[in-house]
Amino acid sequence: MTEVDTDAVLAEARAQGIHTMPVPTPFAVGRINCYLIEGSPLTLIDAGPRSEQSLAELDIHINDAGHRVEDVELIVATHQHIDHIGLIKTVADRSGAEVAALDKSVERLATFGESSDAEDDLAVSLMLRHGVAEDIAIALRNLSDGYRHWGDKVEVTMPLAAGEYLELGDRKLKVLHRPGHSPSDTVFWDEERRMAFGGDHLLSHISSNPLISRPLDGSPGRTRSLIDYTASLKETRRMPIDLMLSGHGDPITDHAGLIGKRLESQKRRLEKIHGILAEEPRSAHAVAEAIWGNVAVTQAFLTLSEVIGHLDILMDAGQVDEREDGDLLIYEVTE
C-alpha cells in the first residue's frame, strides 16, 4: 500500500465540491469526519455528536465553505452511532433540512433513548453470560448512560432502500448496506467518480470494531457482527473505488489492499483464539484476557464483541463448540 498525500486528496475533493469537516467526539477514535457536498441540495453527510463544542466547530467549517448551517438542505446518516447522528436533529431544526438514512434504520434512529436502553440491556446480559464480572458490567452500563446525552432522536424524512440512488444534483450516490461495525452501516457510492462515502465501514488507521448489537428488524437475540462485517468487506473489496472518504481518519486510496490487511489480521486472530482454547476451555472474556491481558473496564464490551465475533466464525467452521457451565458459556475446540 502506498502512502497517501492526505492534503492533496482532500484538496482534490474540495475542488469537486466536497468539504471535509472534522469535529470532536468524546471517544478514543477521535474526531469524526463530516462532509459537506456542494450543489442542490446542499448536503451534509453525518453531523457529529450532540455537544456545544461539536456544533460550534461544525458551524465554523460550514462557514469556511461559504455557507451557514441554516443553508443545509439534506442530512445523510451513514449509521446509527451517536458520534455520527447526535447533531442531526439540531441541524435539521435550524435548517429545515430533509434527513436521509437506510430504511431499515428508521425506527432505531427515531427511538434513540429506548433503543439505547435495549442495547445496554443486551450488552449487560452478554457480558454476564460470557464471564465479565457483574460489577464491571454495571460500571459499563453506567458509563454508557453517561454518554447518552451525546446522542439524540433522529426523524428520517427520506428512507433509502439498499440499491437505490440518492440524487444530489449532478451527483448520484448508490445506497449500499454494509452491516458489521453496526447493523445499519451504509456506504454511499458515486459510481461515475469512483468514490465512496464510507462512514465507519472501513477506516485507514484502525480496524472498525464489529460491535455486537440488536438486529435492526427487532428480532430477538444479537447480530453476528463479525460474520456480517466479513461479508460486507468482501463485497466492498470487489468495487472499483479510487477514493473512500471515511468517518474517521485519513481518506483511503487503496481500499482493496487495506481490506486484504484487515482480513489477514482476522485470520491470525482466529488462529490465536483457536490455540488459546486448545490449551483449555474458557469463556469469551477469559479468551479476551488471554489475548490482551488485564482488559480495561472501558474496553470489556469492545474486546468481548471482538472475541465473540471470531468464535462465531470458528463455530460455523466446526472448529469450536460452546457449552453451558452454570450461568456461563464455555468454548472448547472440537475433537
What would the pLDDT profile of 204-236 be if each residue is shown by its tens digit? 999 999 999 999 998 899 999 999 999 999 999
Specify the pTM.
0.95
- The structural domains of the chain, ordered by start, are 271-333 (1.10.10.10)
Q: What's the confidence (pLDDT) of residue 138?
A: 94
Checking if the pLDDT of 30 tops 70, the result is yes
Checking if the pLDDT of 103 tops 60, the result is yes
The angle that helices 284-292 and 255-279 make with each other, rounded to 10 degrees, is 110
Predicted confidence band of residue 110 (pLDDT cuts 50, 70, 90): very high
Q: How large a percentage of the chain has pLDDT more than 90? A: 90
Segment 121-137 shows an average pLDDT of 95
- Kindly state the cell numbers that stand for 52: 456545544
Q: What's the confidence (pLDDT) of residue 28?
A: 85
Q: What's the confidence (pLDDT) of residue 5?
A: 87
The candidate with the shortest Cα–Cα distance to 88, out of 26, 150, 177, is 150
Q: Which residue has the cell 490449551?
A: 279
DSSP 209: P
How much is the mean pLDDT over the chain? 95
C-alpha torsion angle, residues 299, 305, 308, 312 (rounded to 10) = -160
Q: What's the confidence (pLDDT) of residue 2?
A: 56
Length of the chain: 335
Segment 95-101 shows an average pLDDT of 98
Q: What's the confidence (pLDDT) of residue 298?
A: 82
DSSP 282: B
Predicted confidence band of residue 294 (pLDDT cuts 50, 70, 90): confident
Which stretches of the chain are DSSP H helices? 6-15, 52-64, 82-85, 88-95, 106-110, 112-129, 134-147, 225-237, 255-279, 284-292, 300-316
Query: DSSP per residue over 72-134, as a string?
Result: --EEE-S-S-HHHHTTHHHHHHHH--EEEEEGGGHHHHHTHHHHHHHHHHHHHHHHHHTT--H
Q: How large a percentage of the chain has pLDDT more than 70? A: 99
Render pLDDT for 237-264 as a digit per residue (tens, 0 to 9). 999 999 999 999 999 999 999 999 999 9
d(CA 56, CA 10): 22
Segment 48-60 shows an average pLDDT of 97
Predicted confidence band of residue 297 (pLDDT cuts 50, 70, 90): confident
Instruction: Calculate the alpha carbon distances from 171 to 68, 133, 164, 229, 290 in Å.
Output: 22, 51, 13, 28, 49
d(CA 10, CA 124): 41
Checking if the pLDDT of 321 tops 60, the result is yes
